[in-house]
């Protein structure tokens, strides 16, 4: 199990907080975090850039001092916190009920462009140290459980930056330090610095090549992106190829043409691939967040995921991926 300050993380599912954005008149985001906690979530992943720069503030407010000692909070640095004016947040909150109805439309695409400032990165050691202090303030805590370098490339990782990360751990500002970047960059960094970082957070989906062993043998690996586009891609592929769908469904003993069953299989496959680690899931919907947590905690999900992963391999659907594609 993954240890926390006063308890253990018994759920394999962590909550990704990229969608948490301040400005809701109904405190929807606060209710989502509390619902996730009540359903067993004990790991929350956030970053300064999430939620138009407000996700850390929302998470800190939702957890408060009462729940802080019961959960793990991982945050990141390297992608700067965007500057968004308060009026924009209020307008976004007011329009939130309409978002599902216009998603995918021309209006939705325009709104997305307006609400997502161009991403700026800064891996200067002093900037990373300032980012950590800012995150602690926004989250209303004096320590993080994990502090990760967000989408860093090997050439950005200087000796001085390594010292800043190590000092943060030594001073108790974070318990663990790690990487939240591509598999290719993670591999390059681990080749050069194999025993320095405690955590690897990376994207993985069932169509990706299997994960290599963690270099030190004792580090923590966290997966994200296990649903998202993959759910839509596989739904389309299965609809277009009934024979393959039947083959995989028979191997799994489940109706994978059903999107809910397919979601469960994808979650279970990630849990199987990352045994002993965590799988991050994110949603704006409170019911979906609760459902994902319940699925992740079900023994049937892990069993279905293992069967689905084996069936996908047998069907030749797993990509042979080049390092630059990972």
248 falls within a domain: yes
Q: Look up residue 47 and give its DSSP letter.
A: -
What are 173-200's pLDDT values in tens digits? 999 999 999 999 999 999 999 999 999 9
108 falls within a domain: no
Q: What is the domain-level CATH number for residue 212?
A: 3.20.20.100
Mean pLDDT, the chain, integer? 88
8 falls within a domain: yes
Q: What is the largest CA-CA distance in the chain?
A: 58
6 falls within a domain: yes
pTM: 0.89
CA 116 from chain center: how many Å?
19
pLDDT value for 11: 86
* SS3 label, residue 286: helix
Q: Mark 37-71 as b/e (b = at least 16 C-beta within 10 Å).
A: bebebbbbbbbbbbbbbbbbbbbbbbbeeeebeeb
Report percent pLDDT > 90 for the chain.
Answer: 75
264 falls within a domain: yes
pLDDT value for 213: 80
Element (H, E) at 184: helix 183-192
Show the domain range for 148.
2-82+117-325
**Domain count for the chain:** 1
What are 252-284's pLDDT values in tens digits? 999 999 999 999 999 999 999 999 999 999 999
pLDDT value for 6: 43
Q: What count of other Cβ atoms lies within 10 Å of the Cβ of residue 124?
A: 14
Residue 92: both structure tokens together: 């976004």
90 falls within a domain: no
Is 75:48 a contact under the CB 8 Å cutoff? yes
Element (H, E) at 206: none
What are 89-106's pLDDT values in tens digits? 666 666 655 555 555 454
What average pLDDT does this structure show over 140-169?
Answer: 98
Is 19:286 a contact under the CB 8 Å cutoff? no
Q: In the structure, what pLDDT confidence band is assigned to residue 44 with cuts at 50, 70 and 90?
A: very high
92 falls within a domain: no
Among 20-34, 151-165, 212-226, 290-304, the range scoring the smallest mean pLDDT is 212-226
112 falls within a domain: no
pLDDT value for 23: 85
């Amino acid at each position: 199990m993954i240890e926390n300050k006063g308890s253990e993380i018994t759920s394999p599912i962590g909550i990704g907080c990229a969608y948490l954005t301040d400005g809701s008149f109904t405190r929807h985001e606060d209710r989502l975090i509390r619902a996730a906690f009540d359903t067993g979530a004990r790991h929350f992943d956030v970053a300064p850039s999430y939620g138009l720069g407000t996700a850390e503030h929302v998470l800190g407010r939702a957890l408060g001092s009462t729940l802080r000692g019961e959960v793990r909070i991982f945050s990141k640095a390297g992608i700067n916190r965007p500057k968004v004016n308060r009026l924009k947040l209020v307008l976004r909150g007011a329009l939130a009920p309409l978002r599902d109805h216009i998603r995918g439309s021309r209006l939705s695409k325009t709104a997305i462009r307006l609400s997502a400032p161009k991403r700026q990165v800064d891996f200067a050691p002093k900037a990373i140290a300032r980012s950590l202090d800012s995150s602690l303030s926004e989250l209303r805590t004096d320590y993080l459980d994990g502090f990760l370098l967000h989408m860093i490339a090997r050439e950005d990782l200087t000796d001085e930056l390594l010292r800043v990360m190590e000092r943060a751990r030594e001073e108790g500002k974070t318990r663990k330090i790690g990487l939240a970047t591509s598999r290719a960059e993670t591999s390059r960094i681990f080749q050069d610095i194999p025993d320095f970082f405690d955590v690897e957070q990376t994207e993985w989906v069932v169509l990706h090549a299997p994960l290599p062993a963690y270099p030190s043998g004792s580090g923590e690996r966290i997966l994200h992106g296990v649903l998202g586009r993959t759910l839509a891609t596989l739904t389309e592929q299965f609809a277009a190829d009934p024979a393959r769908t039947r083959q995989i469904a028979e191997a799994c003993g489940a109706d994978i043409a059903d999107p809910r069953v397919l979601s469960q299989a994808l979650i279970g496959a990630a849990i199987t691939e990352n045994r002993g680690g965590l799988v991050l899931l994110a949603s704006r919907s409170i019911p979906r967040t609760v459902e994902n947590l319940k699925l992740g905690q079900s023994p049937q999900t892990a069993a279905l995921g293992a069967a689905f992963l084996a069936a996908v391999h047998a069907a030749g659907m797993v990509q042979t991926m080049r390092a630059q594609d990972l």
